Amino acid sequence: MIRWNEVSQQTQQALLTRPAVNASEAVETSVLEIIDEVKTCGDQALLKYAQLFDKRTNARLRTPMQEIADSEKQLTSKLKAAIDQAYSNIKAFHHAQLPQDIKLQTTTGVECELKYQAIDAVGLYVPGGSAPLPSSVLMQGVCAQLCGAKTIVLATPVNGDNAINPAILYAAKLCGISIIVESGGAGAIAAMALGTESVPKVNKVFGPGNSYVTMAKQILSQTQTGFAIDMPAGPSEVLVIADERANPNFIAADLLSQAEHGADSQVILLTNSAQIIEQTKAAIDKQLQNLSRRSIAAAALQNSALILVESVEQAFEVSAQYGPEHLILQLADAAPFMSLVKNAGSVFVGDYTPESAGDYASGTNHVLPTYGYSKVYSSLNLLDFYRTYTVQSITPQGLRNLSSAILPLANAEGLDAHANAVKVRLETIQND
């Protein structure tokens, strides 16, 4: 048990240090090669990677429309209903985020507008890995659908001779996605950024992925003009703040649900009760036994810490310093503490609000800034699928009104032609 106030500042910092995720040069080299090959060979490159990396036997890149349409027939009614329910909640929460244009007159004769334009073409990446992730389709797909993007491309790897998972297809169908590319990794990202015969070129790619995917997103967003990505990626993490009356079983379950994501996940408990720490430890040991991914979860627990703080207030200070992706508050009454919440991706308030509720179905987005980026990046939201631009309309009188600001400033900045663009116009306006 670590007592926050009794360890050195150095140890405190070490406790909040994330596992390093320095991408190797080897990753960068192969991603650069992949990008080049996709640029040159298009679909052929993607087919080659599918065979090589995913052991794919089916030489197709696009899921036929009929398979998407028929996907629900292959789902149990329970799973179909679950996807429907999650979709409905996620849609309700993101629908509330639909932006409104702003228009105002800043000076007589000077009208300014801020307008929203949906990004034309978006790419959604859904990793394959150990399991299909229909929830990841919903989190990205609902936004793409609500903004009305003209082109929505979903890319996901398919393994061996499997068919693409029907839960993925059904989630995509709900979101109105018809372009599904059966390709994964850096190749899929490059295809969406550059375009190939089968993959439309998009302006922005969203979604998580492994180190190759992350590297490809990073490189392409730096080198491909007009192309952007959602946010920097990093391992998943949770920080739980619990008081002395919290339920150790709930805490343990929340820590483990984060730990099972990957061996590089980080979980932290901050509590003002030594007893809670002891009981949580015991509960973790017990619950761990029954998990199918217990070896992953156990590895993640190595990067993790159960920390005794002096007070709940101190816990919020430490949390703000860490900047957790997920922040769970198991407090008798969280309300008085909500103003202390800082630098969190998503917050789960109260004993009955586990992280898995937000991961799937409460309605909030589960694509969140992690690895300390919640100090400056937003959790994924509908506005990430829009861009804003401004419009100004000025009457002759309006320009005259503004000229007393424009001309001295242009002069001060030594920009004659800026002043001249006003002067040639003023000359044509009859003086009142």
Q: Confirm or deny that 261 is annotated as ligand binding.
A: yes
Q: Which residues contact 29 (CB under 8 A, 6 or more apart)?
A: none
Task: Decide if residue 39 touches its own copies (CB under 8 A).
Answer: no
Output 66 or 222, the one with its CB closest to its own copies: 222
**Which amino acid, 176?**
G
Which residue from 5, 9, 130, 431 is in contact with its own copies, where contact means CB under 8 A?
130
Q: Give yes or no for residue 20 binding its own copies (CB under 8 A).
A: no
Taking the least distance from each CB to its own copies, the nearer of 45 and 214 is 214
SS3 annotation, the chain: CEEHHHCCHHHHHHHCCCCCCCCCHHHHHHHHHHHHHHHHHCHHHHHHHHHHHHCCCCCCCECCHHHHHHHHHHCCHHHHHHHHHHHHHHHHHHHCCCCCCEEEEEECCEEEEEEEEECCEEEEECCCCCCCCHHHHHHHHHHHHHHCCCEEEEECCCCCCCCCCHHHHHHHHHCCCCEEECCCHHHHHHHHHHCCCCCCCCCEEECCCCHHHHHHHHHHHHHCCCCEECCCCCCCEEEEEECCCCCHHHHHHHHHHHHCCCCCCEEEEEECCHHHHHHHHHHHHHHHCCCCCHHHHHHHHCCCEEEECCCHHHHHHHHHHHCCCEEEEECCCCHHHHHHCCCCCEEEECCCCCHHHHHHCCCCCCCCCCCCHHHCCCCCCHHHHEEEEEEEEECHHHHHHHHHHHHHHHHHCCCHHHHHHHHHHHCCCCCC
Comparing CB distances to its own copies, the nearer of 65 and 405 is: 405
Distance CA 284, CA 261 (A): 16
Region 196-255 residues binding its own copies, contact defined as CB under 8 A:
203-204, 218, 222, 225-228, 247, 249-250, 253-254
> Between β-strands 110-118 and 102-107, what pairing exists: parallel, antiparallel or unpaired?
antiparallel
Minimum distance from residue 194 beta carbon to its own copies (Å): 14
Dihedral sign for Cα atoms in the order 347, 351, 354, 358: negative
366 is in an annotated binding site: no
Q: Any binding-site annotation on 404?
A: no
Q: Which is nearer to its own copies, 182 or 384 (CB)?
A: 384
Minimum CB separation from its own copies for residue 71, in Å?
13
Q: Using CB under 8 A, which residues numbered 63 to 82 contact its own copies? A: 76, 78-79, 81-82
d(CA 91, CA 97): 10
- State yes or no: residue 180 binds its own copies (CB under 8 A): no
Q: Is 55 in the site for its own copies (CB under 8 A)?
A: no
Question: Residue 134, interface with its own copies (CB under 8 A)?
Answer: yes
* Nearer residue to its own copies within complex by CB, 50 or 256: 256
Would you count residue 257 as binding its own copies (CB under 8 A)?
yes
The torsion angles phi and psi of 7, rounded to 5 degrees, stand at: -100, 160
Among the listed residues 5, 40, 73, 424, the single contact to its own copies using CB under 8 A? 424
Report whether 95 belongs to an annotated binding site: no
Q: Is 394 in the site for its own copies (CB under 8 A)?
A: yes
Alpha-carbon dihedral of residues 242, 247, 249, 252, nearest 10 degrees? 0
Q: Which of 72, 94, 182, 326 is catalytic?
A: 326
With CB under 8 A as the contact rule, the residue among 40, 390, 430, 431 that binds its own copies is 390
Residue 163 is a binding residue for its own copies (CB under 8 A): no
Catalytic residue of the set 72, 260, 325, 355: 325
Q: Residue 413 CB, nearest distance to its own copies (Å)?
A: 5
Minimum CB separation from its own copies for residue 117, in Å? Answer: 7
Is 355 an interacting residue with respect to its own copies (CB under 8 A)?
yes
The residue (of 48 and 425) whose beta carbon lies closer to its own copies is 425
Is 355 a residue of the active site? no
Asked whether the beta carbons of 15 and 305 are under 8 A apart, the reply is: yes
Judge whether 326 counts as a catalytic residue.
yes
Find the binder of its own copies among 96, 160, 289, 432 (CB under 8 A).
96
Q: How many residues bind its own copies (CB under 8 A)?
A: 134
Q: Whole-number minimum distance, CB 51 to its own copies, in Å?
A: 25
Kindly tell me which of 62 and 116 has the beta carbon lying closer to its own copies: 116
Residue range at the interface with its own copies (CB under 8 A); choices 27-35, 60-68, 86-94, 172-180:
86-94
Q: Which is nearer to its own copies, 120 or 310 (CB)?
A: 120
Binding segment toward its own copies, per CB under 8 A, in 58-66, 89-97, 189-197, 268-276 = 89-97
Binding residues for substrate: 236, 258, 261, 326, 359, 413, 418
Instruction: Give binding residues for Zn(2+) as ranges.
Output: 258, 261, 359, 418
Give catalytic residues, as residue numbers. 325-326
